Each structure stands twice: as structure tokens, then as C-alpha cells.
Amino acid sequence: MTDLPPTTEMERAYLERDAAYDGLFFLGVRSTSIFCRPTCPARKPLPRNVEYFPTARAALFAGYRPCKRCRPLAEDDSPEWSSRLLAEVEQDPGSRITDADLKARGIDPATVRRFFLRRYGMTFQAFTRARRLSGALTRIREGAALDHVVFESGYDSHSGFRDAFTRTFGETPGSRPNGECVFLSWFQSPLGPLVAGATSEGVCLLEFSDRRMLETQFATVRKLFSGPVLPGSNDHLNLLQSELSGYFSGTLKRFTVPLHYPGTPFQRRVWEQLLAIPYGETRSYEQLATALGDAKAVRAVGRANGLNRIAIVIPCHRVINKNGELGGYGGGLRRKQYLLDLERSGCVEQAAPMGKSDGPLLDGLREIEVAHPSLRH
């Protein structure tokens, strides 16, 4: 995502420490090689010494180190207005918040659009429309009368609702009461935002939201389940969020949330071997291949490991090279090291709970990653 506000707008925002722009851009200071949030309390650099980035990840890859005052790598970088908007949408998915409504609240619609595109991969209006329709599908499955669902979803007519529903799901409301749909939710974690997806059978996706392969994973999920991918929630996602909180706080060592992970027979065998690796232990790619009955299938095991769509819960981070080096990891090696350290310690010192600061350990790992580009994955 490279869509940044105009340079003059960003310059004004950081000079005035405008909190509405937190999370929308980051500024790198060339003279110090440090990058900050727009609201950083440190002395403001001269505009000619500033370089702008759409994400903290982009600033890291450009060689900048995170500021220790404003902590731009802490996971909760959402502007306050975005939290209010999301809470309002969740409380009443059928409500419609127009650009005029945003302006009346003192929020620039273009700023909202950029933030939602970067964080959720869709505009705010697309997000709220998808949220209305995912809620409508849930109500239809629960047996609610169609008349009630139409107006609860904020539509003025049956025809308007039917057209929107059909465009999204490919079928009319009456013909899809049990059709599959993947609901998406976004969670905060000590390692950054996570995006999770679940069908009616179980969790089918858990990825770091800044992973480069995320769009490919979404496309794969759509194809596998032959249905739309929409913002929403269900019991599996609620349980997953609770269990992730326990995992990161060091109190949960075994996930119980149902999983839904279709794949080739070989891929499923690899993923089941991953699930069998005990908490706090690791296996090499060679050991996995041997356990599968083919010691020569190391590369195939590595490919299947990399195609795992449910990070952390299906613990592909527990697979390392036979020489003890970390090997690869789709979420980045700093995260892999963090997860292994958390599990080896079995206590809370190495990890903050969900929604809290990620602490000095992760800052150190991030600085190591910047200093050693070979650790990037």
C-alpha cells in the first residue's frame, strides 16, 4: 500500500502532532536514521530531513530504526477516530455513515479511505457494506424472516437488498441460507495486527496482516471455499481471540479452537505433523520428512510448511533447520524467534498480553533485523 496523504498535509500533521494521522504514515529522519509516528514528542526535524512511509514495515526496510520515545512498532497504531467508527459499525451494522457524516464529525473522508485501504484492504464504505451483508447472512441462517433482515441491514427495499446480496454471494438470499462464507476479523497482538478467517466449520486463516502473501492467501481462501470473504465474526473467531490472548500471556499452551484446513493429502499430512510438535519444542524439516516416511521429501515439506494458512495455531514456527538456525518464516524471522522464546520460557516475561506494548525484547529483535537484512523473509 503506497497511498500517502499529500506531502504538505503530512508535514503539517507531524509539525502539529496531529493524532488523527497516527497509523496513516510514518516519518524517517535522515540525520538520525530513526523513524517516528506523526505525534512523536521528540523535537521535530526540519522538513528537508524527513522521508515519509506508508507503513512501519516500509521504514524498517529502508534502514530506519524505531524511535524509543513514540514506539512506532507498537501494535496499536490506529487513530482514535477509527476505533470509534468500528465500534459504531459493530453496534449497528445496518447504519450508514456517509462522507457528509464523517465531515460533520471533523474527519476527512479521504483520510478514512486511506486508513481502511491500508489496514483492511477495502474502503470504509466497502467495509461497512460487507459488514451489513455478512450480518444479514448470519441472520438468514438463524431463521430470521427476510423482511426483518432487509431493514435491519439498512436497505430501503427488498430489491436493493437482493441485488447487493446476489452481487456479493452469487446467489439470492432465499437460495443461500447454508452457503459457505469466510468471516474475517482483525486482532491486535504483541507481534502486530493479525487477520483471522473462519467458516462454519472452524478457523481457516490466521496471518500477520503485513505479510506479503496475504492477498494470495485471501484469493486461495475464496477459491477453496467457493464463497465470499467478508468482515464479520462467529463463535470460532471469538474463541480464537480468547485463546490467542492466553497464548501470548503465557497461560495457554494448547489451542482447542476447531480448524478447517483443506489441502492436498500431502499438505494435510505435513500440517498434522506440525500440530503434533509439542509446545516449547522444535523439529527440523528433515525430521518431519522422516516422520512422513520419506526422508528425501525435505523440500516438499518446506513448501507445504510455507503454505500453512493458520499461523501460530498450526505451529509452522516450530520447524527449524537441522543445524539449529531459524530457517524461513512467512511472518518474518523476528516473529519466529519471539514465538520460540515465548514457548521455551513458558512464562509471561517474554510476552505482553494482547493489546499491550510489545516490550524491549521485540524492539531488540526488530533492530537486529534492520541491521542484518538477511534476516528478512
How many alpha carbons lie under 13 Å from residue 3 in its C-beta half-sphere?
A: 14
In this prediction, residues 68-82 reach a mean pLDDT of: 75
| Residue 376 phi, psi dihedral angles, 5° rounding | -75, 145
Mean pLDDT taken over the chain: 79
**Same domain? 134 vs 85:** yes
Which range marks the domain in which residue 370 is found?
265-375
pLDDT exceeds 60 at position 12: yes
Last residue of a domain, one of 119, 141, 175: 175
Q: What pLDDT score does 318 carry?
A: 96
- What percent of the chain stands above pLDDT 70? 75
Within a domain: residue 370? yes
Residues 6+ apart with CB under 8 A from 290: none
* Residues 306-352: tens digit of each pLDDT: 999 999 999 999 999 989 898 888 887 878 888 998 998 863 343 33
Instruction: Kindly state whether residue 32 falls inside one of the protein's structural domains.
Output: yes
The partner residues of 65 in beta bridges, in order of sequence, read 34
Residue 42 scores a pLDDT above 60: yes
Residue 300 confidence class, pLDDT cut points 50, 70, 90: very high
User: Does 13 share its domain with 96?
Assistant: no
Residue 87, φ and ψ in degrees, nearest 5: -65, -40
Residues 320 and 271 in one domain: yes
Which triple of cell numbers denotes residue 335? 516473529
Please check whether residue 201 lies inside any domain of the structure. no
pLDDT at residue 85, rounded to an integer: 87
Residue 194: band (very low, low, confident or very high) from pLDDT cuts 50, 70, 90:
confident
- Residue 75, in any domain of the structure: no
Find the range with the poorest average confidence among 9-18, 179-188, 199-208. Answer: 179-188
pLDDT tens digits along 86-120: 888 877 776 778 899 999 988 889 888 888 877 77
Would you say residue 159 has pLDDT above 80? no
- Examine the fold and report which residue of 66, 88, 117 is the final residue of a domain before the chain moves on: 66
Catalytic residue among 36, 40, 67, 181: 36
Count of CA atoms in the C-beta half-sphere (13 A) of 271: 21
* 355 has pLDDT over 80: no
Residue 228 has pLDDT above 80, yes or no: no
Q: Which CATH number does the domain housing residue 108 bear?
A: 1.10.10.60
- Number of domains comprising the chain: 3
State how far the Cα of 81 lies from the Cα of 280, in Å rounded to an integer: 40
CATH code: domain of residue 366? 1.10.10.10
Residue 280, in any domain of the structure: yes
Angle at 21 between CA 19 and CA 22, to 5 degrees: 70
pLDDT at position 310: 95
| Active-site residue flag, 36 | yes
Is 181 an active-site residue? no
pLDDT band at 164 (very low <50, low <70, confident <90, very high): low
Model confidence band, residue 84 (pLDDT cutoffs 50, 70, 90): confident
Predicted confidence (pLDDT) at residue 274 exceeds the cutoff of 90: yes
Q: Is 258 within a domain?
A: no
One domain, residues 270 and 365? yes
pLDDT at 376 over 90: no
pLDDT of residue 213: 59
Instruction: Report, as an integer, the average pLDDT of 3-21.
Output: 86
pLDDT of residue 220: 80
pTM: 0.59
- Higher pLDDT among residues 69 and 360, named by residue: 69
In the prediction, which pLDDT does 155 show?
A: 60
In a domain, 237, yes or no: no
Give the pLDDT band of residue 74 (cuts 50, 70, 90): low
Task: Indicate if 170 and 87 belong to the same structural domain.
Answer: yes
Lowest mean pLDDT among 59-63, 91-95, 257-261: 91-95
Report pLDDT for 332.
Answer: 79
In a domain, 57, yes or no: yes
Residues 124 and 46 in one domain: no
Rounded distance between C-alpha atoms, residue 48 and residue 305, angstroms: 45
Q: Which of 67, 70, 316, 347 is catalytic?
A: 316
**Tell me, what's the pLDDT at 126?**
80
CB 81, CB 51: distance < 8 Å: no
Radius of gyration of the chain (CA): 22
Tell me: do 47 and 98 sit in the same domain.
no
Q: Are residues 97 and 39 in the same domain?
A: no
Of 144, 175, 206, which marks where a domain is finished? 175
- CATH number for the domain spanning 11: value is 3.40.10.10
Whether 98 and 147 map to the same domain: the answer is yes
User: Who wins on pLDDT, 354 or 150?
Assistant: 150
3-state secondary structure of 134: helix
| 50 and 110 share one domain | no
pLDDT over 90 percentage in the chain: 32
